[in-house]
Amino acid sequence: MSETTGIGLPGSPTTLFDHALRLHQLAPGEPLHRDGEPYPDDESHRHRKGPRTPEDRHSVGKDAAFILDAHFARNSALPGELADAFHDIHIPIHPNEHIAAAAEQADRERVRQTGRWLVRHGTDRCSVTVGLALLAAVGTADDIPLIQTIGLLSNRFGPLAAHAFESRPGGVEALLWLAERVTGWGRVYVVEALCRLDDPAARPWLLRRACDGDFLNGYFAGQVATVARLHEALADLDTDSEMVDHIGRLLHLMSDCEGMGLTLAHYPHSRALLEAHARHVGSLSPTNERYFTIAVLTQHLTTEPPEAAGCTATQQEALRDTYLEVLDREEWTETARAGFTADDNRMRWLADHRAPQLRLRAFPDRESDTEE
């Protein structure tokens, strides 16, 4: 175990909960830096060779369930006895039927107390994961703050935290709180849970904030557009710049997420979204993000067949012309050039790697390169 110290007693290993809480307190409204990695137990996990994932996927979680069954069969067994019990076996980070069954077959109050102790006091990610799985199975509303905090370490604990909230009353609010504070894979787990719930309370957030621009957003961008009924909200774009920007991110992601999620080619309202975005984005002030989003959409409309954007050839040409007119405006051109000078990676990509067919006034003297 790592001897890194934190909120706990001097010289004692830092619990993963305290590690997450300390980082959260540094920036309460934002995702943890690097998703909280490295964790306090990093040293004991970084170089180990196992345990391996069982070849039979149906047996995943059985070893952990066996340990739990034996523990709960002893009335005198204390939660702390499980602190290092799972380090040498494979522990799934996603909901698992065997661990859930072990939780549901034992005394529920005792299972809850054990899960709470492991999540709050565990110094090994394996035991904390099992504790979180117990709370996901039999936890109550009282466990929401505990699960939210450990869920901030979302690459590891996001799947079970999202599952716990998805299956509990009040889970939508808890998921929305967590969604604002996770990125990467953690955001995938949480947003997908919100989409499955399809709760009206989540729709405003899904319409405006679900996609943060990470490539992994491609796994859920199409789900968000569908569940939030984005095509029904287009009338609000005149007064909602946040939604305009979010639609731009969604369109960008759905233009390049083949094999991940729903693409523009298969989303039934692609043309309507593109036309609405093209009409409204030009009324906003230029930023590097807006310029880049419009440019990559224009490239898609230039290099791909019309059906890839759910359009006819005539509609595709009209959309491309509308976007190009915005991109070539003086103020937008100056913004892009300033971004390039400031070494903005998006502007550098456009300058160096855009398709040869995409001619942009902002970068007239640079040769296009199709290789990234």
Q: Classify residue 219 by its DSSP letter.
A: G
**Percent over 70 (pLDDT), the chain:** 95
Tokens of 326: 């915005």
Tokens of 18: 């305290």
Query: Which amino acid, residue 203?
Result: R
Q: Over the stretch 278-336, which tens digit does the pLDDT of each residue have?
A: 999 999 999 999 999 999 999 999 999 999 999 999 999 999 999 999 999 999 999 99
pLDDT at 10: 52
pLDDT at 168: 87
Lowest mean pLDDT among 168-182, 193-207, 355-369: 355-369
Tokens of 340: 């390039």
pLDDT at 12: 75
What is 125-165 written as a DSSP string? HHHHHHHHHHHHHH--GGGHHHHHHHHTSHHHHHHHHHHHH
> To 10 degrees, the CA torsion angle through 71, 77, 83, 89?
-20
Location of structure tokens 């040498």:
88
Cis peptide leading into residue 54 (ω within 30°) = no
Q: Over the stretch 2-48, which tens digit does the pLDDT of each residue have?
A: 333 334 445 579 999 999 999 999 999 999 999 999 999 999 888 77
- pTM of the full structure: 0.91
